[in-house]
Amino acid sequence: MKFVPLPLFTESRAAAEKPKGWPFLRLGFRPFYICGALAAALLVPLWVAIFLGVLPWQTAVPGLLWHAHEMLYGFAMAIVVGFLMTAGKTWTGLATPRGPLLGALALLWLAARLAGMGGATWLYALLDVLLLPVIAVIFATLLLRSKNYRNLPLAMILLLLATANGVFHLAVNGWLDVAPMRPLHAALALITLIECVIAGRVIPAFTMAANPGLKLVASPWVERLALGLTAVGLLLWVFLPDGWLAAIVLVAAAVAQLWRFLGWRSKLALCKPVVWILHFAYAWIPLALLMLALAQVGLLSVSVGVHALGLGATGGLIIGMITRTARGHTGRSLVISWVEVLTYVLVMVAAFSRLLAMLLPPVYYAAFLVLAAITWSLAFLIYLWKYTPWLLQTRLDGKDG
């Protein structure tokens, strides 16, 4: 898959329009970043309380499946939707959903989350499967109208994510003979591929921007090898679990991803926290691929690799991107404060704590699980505290968006 390395912050012709409508509903990142951060902050401690028996709560589907699904389709997909409905405007020069339509999309996301917390299983399924196909069609239409064909694979990935979501709900309702966790693993694999492609464009660019005169030239064959092996390895992990073939390919993918990562000169990013968080987060990907390989041959729990991808890579990349892009698209400086640095550190602490909960003796499990939940939730609560007022207000430069 190839994507055009388009800028994230260049103002399009559409962005030059005069402001109109409620600021909160002018661009997709505004409501969906808030939605995603709320999901991260609230659903994780809720799940831990349910899991530890502190809170008697019956979710619409079995608790573990609900937790895994909501972290992917509640938290991560809210950020993906917000990002694409914002970047799509810059990439194409065309208007993305705003006003009542954007508000309806956000309310549909919210309705599905509420249904999952205790509604009927069929209602949860009905509400939850509607959003992604709509977003995929909207996004594909923008790309086709602007003849931006090389980014159409993103729309295809959205449709694949929607398909995996549909399979999950069919399976959990007993209408399809598939282990419900498998489509969730497929969704995590697809999200990881999106991260690999987008990060491969923005991390080197941001690193060079932070170090004037630095030139990072990616090797085309290293890029193709890393992305290709990762795609094949994750595909085998999803469809051929517990096998040596997947383990071998995943190890090769981890090595290729590490090779790719080392070419980004991470030590030069240490002076810029908004850049180093992306480096730290991406470093989890080769580590997680290696963990999944070990899980394939019974040397490690698959949950270790899953959480390395989910908290370390996805969580880290998301907190880095929603701070940087929210600043840029509200007309603010990209120079961050100690508040953002604190959120970065807390997300990384949460990721390490969650892995330690599974790797250390069982007597420590609950303590590290609670620590992971607290630090993770606190990171996104701090984000909401600082960024929600900005997301509700018009841009500082007075432009639309």
Q: Which domains does the chain have, with CATH numbers?
A: 18-392 (1.20.210.10)
Residue 3 pLDDT = 39
Residue 384 pLDDT = 98
Contacts with 306 (C-beta within 8 Å, 6 or more apart), sequence order: 185, 188, 288, 292
Q: Which amino acid is at 179?
A: A
Count of residues for the chain?
A: 401
Q: Which amino acid is at 57?
A: W
Q: For the segment 68-107, what is each residue's pLDDT rounded down to a tens digit?
A: 999 999 999 999 999 999 999 988 999 999 999 999 999 9
3-state secondary structure (DSSP) of residue 367: helix
Q: Which amino acid is at 251?
A: V
Backbone φ and ψ of 234, nearest 5° = -70, -35
3-state secondary structure (DSSP) of residue 290: helix
Average confidence (pLDDT) over 290-309:
96
pLDDT class of 216 with cuts at 50, 70, 90: confident
Radius of gyration of the chain (CA): 20
C-alpha dist (Å) from residue 337 to 52, 221, 279, 316, 345: 36, 38, 18, 17, 13
- pLDDT averaged over the chain? 92
How far out from the chain centre does Cα 175 lie? 29
**6 has a pLDDT exceeding 60:** no
**What token pair was written down for 123?**
């209602």
Place of tokens 């080769």: 286
Dihedral sign, Cα of residue 328, residue 382, residue 184, residue 372: positive
Contacts with 356 (C-beta within 8 Å, 6 or more apart), sequence order: 364, 368
3-state secondary structure (DSSP) of residue 93: coil
